[in-house]
Amino acid sequence: MTGRLEEKLTRLLGTRSGAALEKMGLVTADDLLRHYPRRYAEPGQLTDMAQLALGEHVSVLARVAEATVRPMRNRGGALLQVVVTDGRQRLALTFFARHAGALRGHEAKLVPGRTGVFSGTVSAYRGERQLTHPDYVLVGGDVEDADAALDEASKPMPIYPATAAVPTWRLQRAVRTVLDPLTEDDVPDPVPAEVRASAGLPSRLEALRLVHAPATAADWRAGQHRLRYEEAFVLQAALAQRRAAAAQEDATARPPRPVDDPGILARFDASLPFTLTAGQRAVGADIADDLARPRPMQRLLQGDVGSGKTVVALRAMLQVVDAGGQAALLAPTEVLAAQHARTLRALLGPLAEGGLLGGAEEGTRVALLTGSLPAAARKAALLQAASGEAGIVVGTHALLSEHVQFADLGLVVVDEQHRFGVEQRDALRAKGRVAPHLLVMTATPIPRTVAMTVFGDLEVSSLTEVPAQRAGIRTHVVPADNPRWMERTWQRVREEVDAGHRAYVVCARIHPDEEDGAAGKAKAAEFDDEVPEFLDGDAEERPPLRAVLEVADALRATPALAGLEVGVLHGQMPPAEKDAAMAAFASGASQVLVSTTVIEVGVDVPEATAMVVFDADRFGLSQLHQLRGRVGRGSAPGLCLLVSTAQPGTPAAARVEALAETTDGFRLAQLDLELRNEGDVLGAAQSGRTSSLRLLRVVKDADLIEEARRAAVALVDADPGLSGHPLLAAAIAAQLDPEKEEFLERA
Ligand code: ADP
Ligand code: MG
């Protein structure tokens, strides 16, 4: 498609302006028009010229007194200096250009004697107030009279995300140069006319005019609303299409065994030491039905930490094994994969020893397959997967990308959705002759509109109750700079250990000499397991983050902990050392484990009752909630001490306080969303697709998303291939694969 929107800015605006915009990633007219104003300066009334405050955006009504163009001695280029006056005060207006010729347009208009309204930001040069590159509207030139000039000057002023090289006023001019000549035919609208009509929305071109050149605040609000609707609508249409496509795909039906021919699932149920909760039964029944159909299940299972998802997932896997298939369980890290394999084997008992002497007659095998296995063990696991001997194969996401053969893969269970985006789901569906059933588990409760936006192609089940006998957890905030409280913290840890329990100590980074913030984060990202979700902001003003290695040394020298074994766990350790550290902690050989967030998800040591989190105020709420879920998993109550350097009254302090007040994961997730910025939310959840959502706010725009979703679903139901809506189809294609799209354009 080549239209006016695809034209290069270098062509439309000239090589120099175009190149400067290209540096900002704005290559085509379309790119520029999607560079929406960040905010709008509300036009004040006219400012009294005697009261011009530095840095303020002002509009003044004045008459041109002088206008001179002269070359700039030092810098090269030319300068137009205008002096305007209201009869008493004088104000300088300055325009720069590379060549005097480029200033002719202004010079021709800003003739002495002309009156106009001049708007810009007040700066000072050699003690004199001035406006650099002000906007202006001249009476008798741009408009008929002074009233019209005032009108024009009282429009809200778009303020763009700008750079030093391209300030906002230059962006504004560039946008107007590109936008003003466009007609309806130039601006394809992915929202079909009938949808617009029923939702009362303007066309895309009108919306662009409303946001880039509003006459009133109501204008830009209406424009933004329409563009947000479009973002939601295109995304929801894409998700509706995915759902429709998945509903057409073939899968192998894996119905449960009949009652008179029980299999491993029935035996497992009979061996369970507890009764399933009502929620586990209900969700289990939905999953059993899904698996029995010849269409791939696409289900998200959400439930707070400890709500018993693992048992639900295992029962689904056993149904598939009973039906002759295999199940794969994917964890985000190797530590967690190993942990899952242990948990599943423990839950299955003799049922996991199929084919072994002393194993159950009707049993299966659980194979663990990770990159760090010794060659012989790895080969054995690969063989078990390929032969079908292992009904359950546990590993990291690498299981899907590596050359792992399954005899008959029927179900994939993914633990933790955040790192398993749309692309991975697609890769999975592409694997094998028919798509396996998919169950994604998440312990982070997802508010409905986020689920709808990010996981709109999945059915959602929730486990809302937590099995009864858990003893609960108390959480306190400990100010890091209070030595008495810190001392008391280590005494409490000692008391827990003396009572036969164990304690985690969590730090945000590994080495004390690592940089904080972005650089430290980038470094940490090289080691998959532990990227603390830092929240931006005032990092510079904070004390440096505490580090695992430094804290471990300090604790070994802490009198309250004398005689205790302090272990260390972080992602830079070789896998064998990690396993050894976990095993030592699980067995009680070490009683205190200083660790990064590796332990965030799933690690299960029932004897661990205490957790101390350093720099707790620097973590996200959901992440802290996950971390906290690691303690108090047995019958003894848990204790979580959040060491914080946050100043009272800051959002960071609000986060840790919220955590101390509630253990309701759903409330915390909602709060977390409200306290952080949207980009983080979507960024964490849908890799590579954030660029498509520029204005949409998942929490605040919940109603709009619902409305757009209804319209999108209706439209896709009526026209699944979107053959009648090519513009929408094109917008979806561009949105779902921006990289590819860009590549095609450049090729
Ligand atoms: P999740 O994976 O959702 O965090 P788990 O499946 O690990 O939760 O369950 C947490 C603990 O509760 C485990 O020790 C598990 O064996 C136990 N559990 C699961 N379901 C029940 C139940 N219905 N009654 C009692 N205990 C249960
Ligand atoms: Mg679990």
What does the domain layout of the chain look like in residue ranges? 44-154, 264-463, 473-662
| Element at 159 (helix H, strand E) | strand 157-159
CA of 282 to the centre of ligand 2 (A): 18
328: nearest Cα among 430, 398, 419, 422? 398
**What is the pLDDT at residue 600?**
58
The best mutation among 268, 309, 310 to test binding of ligand 1, ranked by most ligand atoms within 8 Å of the C-beta, falls on 310
Q: Which residue has the higher pLDDT, 534 or 225?
A: 225
Please compute the mean of the pLDDT values over residues 550-572 and round it to a whole number.
Answer: 94
Q: Which residue has the higher pLDDT, 127 or 613?
A: 613
Report the side by side order of strands in the sheet with 365-369. Answer: 365-369, 390-396, 326-331, 409-415, 437-442, 298-303, 459-463
Q: Would you say 168 and 162 are in contact if contact means Cβ atoms under 8 Å apart?
A: yes
9: nearest Cα among 24, 29, 23? 29
| 3-class SS letters over 356-381 | CCCCCCCCCEEEEECCCCCHHHHHHH
**What is the pLDDT at residue 690?**
38
Which ligand minimizes its atom distance to the CA of 443? Answer: 1
The C-alpha atoms of residue 415 and residue 402 are separated, in whole angstroms, by 18
Local confidence band at 737 (pLDDT 50, 70, 90 cut-offs): low
- Please check the confidence at residue 346 and state whether its pLDDT lies above 80: yes
How many angstroms separate the Cα of 557 from the Cα of each of 561, 563, 566, 613, 615? Answer: 8, 10, 10, 19, 21
- Please check the confidence at residue 292 and state whether its pLDDT lies above 90: yes
CATH class of the domain at 264-463: alpha beta
What architecture is domain 44-154?
A: Beta Barrel (2.40)
Question: Which atom of ligand 1 is the closest one to the Cα of 305?
Answer: 4
CATH class of the domain at 473-662: alpha beta
Residue 356 burial class via C-beta count within 10 angstroms: exposed 0-12, middle 13-18, buried 19 and up:
exposed
* Mean pLDDT over the full length of the chain: 82
309: nearest Cα among 333, 295, 294, 329? 329
Same CATH fold, 473-662 and 44-154?
no
The best mutation among 269, 311, 336, 473 to test binding of ligand 1, ranked by most ligand atoms within 8 Å of the C-beta, falls on 311
**632 CB near ligand 1 (under 6 Å):** no
* Lowest-confidence region among 196-205, 488-497, 532-541, 555-564: 532-541
Structure token digits, residue 51: 């009261």
Q: Percent of the chain having pLDDT more than 90?
A: 42
Structure token digits, residue 13: 């605006």
CA of 743 to the centre of ligand 1 (A): 47
**Long-range contacts (CB closer than 8 Å, 24 or more residues apart) made by 517-520:** 520/545
Q: Would you say 476 and 493 are in contact if contact means Cβ atoms under 8 Å apart?
A: no
* Lowest-confidence region among 87-96, 464-473, 586-595: 464-473
**What is the pLDDT at residue 495?**
96
**280 CB near ligand 1 (under 6 Å):** yes
Could you tell me if residue 200 is left (phi over 0), alpha (psi between -120 and 50 degrees) or otherwise beta? Answer: left
**284 CB near ligand 1 (under 6 Å):** no
pLDDT (tens digit, 9 = 90+) per residue, 666-714?
777 777 766 654 444 443 333 333 344 556 666 677 788 889 999 999 9
Q: Which residue has the higher pLDDT, 305 or 712?
A: 712
Which ligand minimizes its atom distance to the CA of 468? Answer: 1
How many angstroms separate the Cα of 32 from the Cα of each of 9, 205, 369, 679? Answer: 8, 14, 49, 20
- Please check the confidence at residue 581 and state whether its pLDDT lies above 50: yes
Residue 641: phi and psi, rounded to 5, are -115, 115
Please compute the mean of the pLDDT values over residues 224-243 and round it to a whole number.
Answer: 89
Local confidence band at 402 (pLDDT 50, 70, 90 cut-offs): low
Q: Report the nearest-CA residue for atom 18 of ligand 1.
A: 308
CA of 309 to the centre of ligand 2 (A): 6
Structure token digits, residue 621: 């709420």
pLDDT (tens digit, 9 = 90+) per residue, 38-53?
888 766 556 788 888 8
pLDDT (tens digit, 9 = 90+) per residue, 467-505?
765 667 899 999 999 999 999 999 999 999 999 999 999
Question: Which atom of ligand 1 is the closest one to the Cα of 277?
Answer: 23
Q: Report the nearest-CA residue for atom 5 of ligand 1.
A: 308
Tokens 């202004």, residue located = 106
**What is the pLDDT at residue 520?**
38
Which ligand minimizes its atom distance to the CA of 308? Answer: 1
Question: Which atom of ligand 1 is the closest one to the Cα of 313?
Answer: 6
Please compute the mean of the pLDDT values over residues 547-559 and round it to a whole number.
Answer: 95
Q: pTM for the full model?
A: 0.62
